[in-house]
Chain A
Amino acid sequence: MNKKLLKQTIFFQIFRMTSALVILFLFVMIWTFISNGIGVISWTFLTDMPKRGMTEGGIFPAIVGTVYLTLGAIVFALPIGVASAIYLVEYAHEGRLVRIINSAIINLAGVPSIVYGLFGFGIFVVFLNFGTSILSGSLTLFIMILPTIVSASREALLGVPKSFREGSLALGATKWQTIRHMVLPYALPGILTGAILAVARAAGETAPIILTAVFFFRPSLPRSIMDGTMALASHIYYMATQHHAINLVRPLTYGSVLVLLSIVLSLNILAIVIRTRYRRRKNW
């Protein structure tokens, strides 16, 4: 074999191994948490309150808290994110304002999550006096996922062919009628996919909610959005670092990780399913 060819083969093999590494990381991670966590997973673990200083019992309030926090975030983020994407794509003319908004989106997406946490603490918990509550946490997560929703919605809107808009406008439809009937319905799957991925990210965030919404231990379900809560991500953090008997509760920690991981991965798979189904059905 000549030297050039040998070189090529060696490099290709290295590249192949690096890409195999990506899959390896994912599988090792999933396998670690399944093998260590599956033992404690049971119906009671999922539906029971934590007991005896969180050394026994379940993680029901943490699951419920995570669901509330992420739902709250998406309730704010979806309408506001989609509305601003509509403005950017359909109404705004290329110009300074659009450039400013676009760079704001990029910068907002790059802010570290602990900074969002501190910001939410300062604004929602203290200044607006919402206290440590689901509302404060949801609003903090909302600001964090907003750029993702705006970007995903914008891509989805841009993906709708111009000919739909022209065809509709040429029939005497107003701009809003055109957006409502000929653009949004066809952008919706893309918007939903983006929203689900954003929710998956919000569900796993820890720093923002530790500072704004969650308690170490709260053995009852929140009764309103002004109540604080437990949440999976923060629960895992506390169980792994703050608990008085870390080694004793380790199996429970693994179980919680497995639950959170399942939720996040299911959401990601759901997004992929929606995207592929929509691509297959799309006939334009």
Chain B
Amino acid sequence: MPVKIETKDLTVSFGDVDAIKNVSMEIFTNRVTAIIGPSGCGKSTLIKSFNRMNDLVSNVKITGQVLLDGENIYGTNYDVVTLRKKVGMIFQKPNPFPKSIYDNVAYGPRIHGIHKKEILDKIVEENLKKAALWHEVSDRLNSSAMDLSGGQQQRLCIARALAVEPEVILMDEPCSALDPIATAKIEGLIRTLSRDYTIVVVTHNMQQAARVSDYTAFLYLGKLIEYGLTKDVFENPQNDLTEKYLTGKFG
């Protein structure tokens, strides 16, 4: 199984607090990996270290390595802009830009130097289709993204991320602000997209992890407690803590 991302002894701390402690794991190409665990266990911090969004926090300290295709993204010569182009991110709360639907999707390509209208038109259509939003918005591409429903906004954010042709998509609790129907749509989308992209999804919803992921990692107090095929982790957890968490004894 080809490995897309590998962490080696990764520790992330904010001030004196270690949010992630010595995590070593491999994330496999074109698979969906779910990261589960109770609130504050470091799930978000872990995936934000995959596209270096933790860098935005002023007192962060990172030790260990994160390898993308074998290359350490925390290496001195690694270009963070290239990294974030390769590793896209969907946030917990849909964060469309207060621009038109079209301009939201075209934002990334434009930033990376594509300005020809025909090419942008094609990119916008293609990625809205990939995000299963095209048929809902194709007749109003120039209206504001802020007028869309929450679920549509999240799919727009997915289209926006896809438009810069990433290889990995990180999703930080992408459904936590959405209703069940919108959630089902995003989950279906995650399954479809996993054919072409490596997806890492953080969720506090265990059923969601079971439904969408191939692999599941259970994180507790910043430590990786258990990691394996989703089926194995859910049906036959090796660690006591995992079992207790999955059966709702704490959370």
Distance in angstroms from B166 CB to nearest chain A CB is 9
Which residues of chain B are near A167, meaning CB under 8 Å?
Answer: 91, 95-97, 157, 160
B108 within 8 A of A: yes
Point out the residue from B93, B98, B107, B146 that lies within 8 Å of A168, measured CB to CB: B107
Point out the residue from A163, A164, A172 that lies within 8 Å of B93, measured CB to CB: A163
* B91 with A171: CB separation less than 8 A: no
Contact segment of B5-13, B26-34, B82-90, B186-194 = B82-90
A193–B88 Cα distance when bound, in Å, is: 36
B58 within 8 A of A: yes
Q: How many A-B pairs fall under 8 Å by CB?
A: 65
* B58 with A94: CB separation less than 8 A: yes
Which residues of chain B are near A182, meaning CB under 8 Å?
Answer: 97
A93–B59 Cα distance when bound, in Å, is: 10
Interface residues of A in 162-192 (CB under 8 A from B): 163-174, 177, 181-182, 186
* A172 with B85: CB separation less than 8 A: yes
Q: Is the interface of A mostly helix, strand, loop or mixed?
A: helix
A174–B82 Cα distance when bound, in Å, is: 10
* B108 with A169: CB separation less than 8 A: no
Distance in angstroms from B194 CB to nearest chain A CB is 20
* B164 with A169: CB separation less than 8 A: no
B161 within 8 A of A: yes
A258–B77 Cα distance when bound, in Å, is: 64
* A171 with B146: CB separation less than 8 A: no
Distance in angstroms from B152 CB to nearest chain A CB is 15
A284 within 8 A of B: yes
Number of A positions contacting B (CB below 8 A): 22
Which residues of chain B are near A165, meaning CB under 8 Å?
Answer: 56
Distance in angstroms from B201 CB to nearest chain A CB is 15
* A186 with B111: CB separation less than 8 A: no
A93–B57 Cα distance when bound, in Å, is: 10
A179–B94 Cα distance when bound, in Å, is: 20
Which residues of chain B are near A164, meaning CB under 8 Å?
Answer: 95, 97
Distance in angstroms from B156 CB to nearest chain A CB is 11
B183 within 8 A of A: no
Point out the residue from A93, A171, A174, A282 that lies within 8 Å of B164, measured CB to CB: A171
* B161 with A170: CB separation less than 8 A: yes
B112 within 8 A of A: yes
A174–B164 Cα distance when bound, in Å, is: 14
* B161 with A171: CB separation less than 8 A: yes
Point out the residue from B96, B111, B144 that lies within 8 Å of A177, measured CB to CB: B111
Number of B positions contacting A (CB below 8 A): 27
A27–B81 Cα distance when bound, in Å, is: 58
A172–B89 Cα distance when bound, in Å, is: 10
The residue on A at minimum CB distance from B81 is: A172
Interface residues of A in 221-260 (CB under 8 A from B): none
* B98 with A170: CB separation less than 8 A: no
A283 within 8 A of B: yes
Interface string of B118-149 (1 = CB under 8 A from A): 00000000000000000000000000101000
A167–B158 Cα distance when bound, in Å, is: 11
B65 within 8 A of A: no
Q: Which of B58, B91, B107, B111 has the most CB of A within 10 A?
A: B111
B230 within 8 A of A: no
The residue on A at minimum CB distance from B85 is: A172
* B95 with A166: CB separation less than 8 A: yes
Interface string of A46-89 (1 = CB under 8 A from B): 00000000000000000000000000000000000000000000
Given A163-B91, A164-B97, A182-B97: A169 and B56 interface contact (C-beta under 8 Å): yes
B203 within 8 A of A: no
A129–B164 Cα distance when bound, in Å, is: 56
Which residues of chain B are near A174, meaning CB under 8 Å?
Answer: 81
Interface string of A132-174 (1 = CB under 8 A from B): 0000000000000000000000000000010111111111111
B53 within 8 A of A: yes
B51 within 8 A of A: yes
Distance in angstroms from B200 CB to nearest chain A CB is 14
The residue on A at minimum CB distance from B146 is: A283
10 nearest CB pairs, A to B: A172-B85, A163-B95, A171-B108, A170-B89, A172-B84, A283-B146, A173-B111, A167-B95, A284-B98, A172-B81
Q: With A167-B157, A177-B111, A181-B111 given, can you name 4 additional A-B contacts, CB distance below 8 Å?
A: A169-B84, A172-B84, A181-B107, A186-B98
| A-B contacts, 28 listed (Cβ < 8 Å) | A163-B91, A163-B93, A163-B95, A164-B95, A166-B53, A166-B56, A167-B91, A167-B95, A167-B96, A167-B160, A168-B107, A169-B56, A170-B53, A170-B84, A171-B107, A171-B161, A172-B82, A172-B84, A172-B108, A172-B112, A172-B164, A174-B81, A177-B111, A181-B107, A181-B111, A283-B144, A283-B146, A284-B98
